[in-house]
């Protein structure tokens, strides 16, 4: 049986269609987040279709052969290589991020690993900030050196340290623009300038800054990586990740590595994330407004040693944060007086905020990094990163700000 005639594809991809009155390049991020990358079948469905299929049928052996030689962006072979729903998600996030292309992955870690491993080989040198998400640190500290990649760690806020560490032969620079859980902010433009002078590729894990509040490519990032699990889903449902970069990097370096090693995103998860992108701006903007209000109200509280939030004037890198990000993000860190005991009493007393180590959810979440996400580190490493016994990380959700403030203040009073 032959397939139906090829489905008309209404593709809003950079350069894919003839010029339109409203060419996507002129659209704002909010409009791109709703329309970019859309592909429609012959049924004209409004909501994007979930193409929950592993394989794709060819009309003839000649067509199969041709596709294995070279397949276009809308010619699919096998879901590990690509899928229409996944392609819609990739094109939409690339349009938002302002990169030529993107490759979607099964999780944020598949994206971080894919971006680094696909481009590195034995003998290469990498410079990375030290304050990293635990699994990112594991890749840079344990896995890459096992394959003969040399990694130098620096304090990301110390520009002299970056200048000293980046060498003529440095292949890549890796950083999280806003560090977890201390919320230190790294000056991306300054690091990129040093890296580019030596020809190094700048890879940014941009989860905490979010695609909404940052413009990492304009500030010098060559490759931007997201855990889509966080704000892109935004409702705590699926795992996913994405690598954004030039078409050359994505299709010639990243895709061959990931399509053969198996880190591809499931079409169902791609659909959830695609719909997540449509509301991401509204959600993140509301969450960041609540985070700033809470951080401001809690600053100076008698039970707190410190309140850390990039948009507070007291934040050590506040000037960089306000220049680099259009809002302070959706995460706050509190340093509670009285160490771990006091922090645990605070967590146990919270009623609206749930104890969970995830972030970017519409539900507010709290975690104690020392005993969970950063448990693996030595006391010395934690001290170096500024992770105290009393530190808790709050991921602010979509609840009402006064309900959250009440919950947090009541829990603080019960310590
Ligand atoms: C969550 C997270 C990751 C990993 O993402 P997964 O989707 O859990 O694999 C990587 N980097 C940062 C900064 C994160 O917050």
To test ligand 1's pocket by mutation, which of 110, 116, 133 has the most ligand atoms within 8 angstroms of CB? 133
CB 86 within 8 A of CB 104: yes
Indicate whether 128 pLDDT > 90. Answer: yes
Model confidence pLDDT, tens digit, residues 217-254? 999 999 999 999 999 999 999 999 999 999 999 999 99
The residue whose CA is least distant from atom 4 of ligand 1 is 108
Q: How are strands ordered across the β-sheet holding 241-245?
A: 101-105, 241-245, 223-227, 201-205, 170-176, 125-129, 150-154
The residue whose CA is least distant from atom 1 of ligand 1 is 227
H-helix or E-strand containing 125? Answer: strand 125-129
- Whether 108 lines ligand 1, by a CB cut-off of 6 Å, is yes
Indicate whether 18 pLDDT > 50. Answer: no
- Whether 133 lines ligand 1, by a CB cut-off of 6 Å, is yes
- Whether 180 lines ligand 1, by a CB cut-off of 6 Å, is yes
Token duo for residue 213: 């509040």
Q: How confident is the model at residue 26 (pLDDT cuts 50, 70, 90)?
A: confident
DSSP characters over 65-100? HHHHH---TT--SBTTT--HHHHHHHHHHHHHHT-S
The residue whose CA is least distant from atom 5 of ligand 1 is 108
Atom of ligand 1 nearest to the CA of 358: 1
Question: Mean pLDDT throughout 16-30?
Answer: 65
- Residues in contact with 401: Cβ distance below 8 Å, sequence separation at least 6, in sequence order: 289, 290, 293, 294
Model confidence pLDDT, tens digit, residues 133-158? 989 999 999 999 999 999 999 999 99
Q: Which residues partner with 127 through β-bridges?
A: 152, 173
Question: Where is pLDDT greater, at 167 or 27?
Answer: 167
Quick count: other Cβ atoms within 10 Å of Cβ 60? 9
Distance 227 CA to ligand 1 centre (A): 5
Q: Residues of the chain with pLDDT > 70: what percent?
A: 94
- Whether 229 lines ligand 1, by a CB cut-off of 6 Å, is yes
This model's pTM is above 0.85: yes
Least confidently predicted of 14-18, 42-46, 263-267: 14-18
- Whether 137 lines ligand 1, by a CB cut-off of 6 Å, is no
Indicate whether 7 pLDDT > 70. Answer: no
- The rounded distance, in Å, linking the Cα atoms of 104 and 77 is 16
Q: How confident is the model at residue 198 (pLDDT cuts 50, 70, 90)?
A: very high
């Amino acid at each position: 049986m032959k397939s139906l005639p090829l489905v008309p594809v209404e593709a809003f991809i950079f350069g894919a269609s003839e010029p339109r009155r409203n060419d996507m390049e002129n659209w704002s991020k909010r409009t791109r987040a709703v329309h970019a990358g859309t592909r429609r079948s012959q049924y004209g469905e409004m909501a994007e279709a979930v193409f929950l299929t592993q394989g794709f049928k060819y009309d003839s052996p000649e067509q199969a052969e041709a596709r294995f030689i070279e397949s276009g962006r809308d010619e699919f072979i096998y879901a590990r290589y690509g899928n229409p729903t996944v392609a819609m998600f990739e094109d939409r996030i690339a349009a938002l991020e302002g990169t030529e292309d993107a490759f979607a992955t099964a999780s944020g870690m598949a994206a971080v690993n894919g971006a680094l491993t696909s481009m590195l080989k034995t003998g290469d040198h990498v410079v990375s900030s030290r304050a990293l998400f635990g699994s990112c640190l594991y890749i840079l500290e344990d896995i890459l050196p096992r394959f003969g990649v040399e990694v130098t760690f620096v304090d990301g806020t110390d520009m002299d340290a970056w200048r000293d560490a980046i060498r003529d032969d440095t292949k890549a620079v890796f950083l999280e623009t806003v560090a977890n859980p201390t919320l230190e902010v790294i000056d991306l433009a300054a690091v990129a300038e040093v890296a580019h002078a030596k020809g190094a590729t700048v890879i940014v894990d941009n989860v905490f800054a979010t695609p909404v509040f940052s413009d990492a490519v304009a500030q010098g990032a060559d490759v931007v990586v997201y855990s889509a699990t966080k704000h892109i889903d935004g409702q705590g449902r699926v795992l996913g990740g994405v690598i954004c970069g030039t078409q050359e990097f994505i299709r010639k370096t990243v895709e061959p590595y990931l399509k053969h090693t198996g880190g591809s995103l499931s079409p169902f998860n791609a659909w959830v994330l695609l719909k997540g992108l449509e509301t991401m701006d509204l959600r993140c903007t509301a969450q960041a407004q609540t985070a700033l209000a809470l951080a401001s109200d809690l600053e100076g509280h008698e039970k707190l040693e410190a309140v850390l939030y990039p948009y507070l004037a007291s934040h050590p890198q506040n000037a960089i944060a306000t220049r680099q990000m259009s809002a302070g993000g959706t995460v706050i860190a509190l340093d509670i007086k009285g160490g771990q005991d006091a922090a645990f009493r605070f967590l146990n007393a919270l009623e609206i905020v749930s104890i969970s180590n995830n972030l970017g959810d519409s539900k507010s979440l709290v975690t104690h990094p020392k005993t969970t996400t950063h448990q693996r580190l030595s006391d010395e490493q934690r001290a170096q990163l500024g992770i105290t016994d009393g530190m808790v990380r709050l991921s602010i959700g979509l609840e009402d700000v006064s309900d959250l403030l009440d919950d947090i203040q009541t829990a603080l009073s019960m310590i």
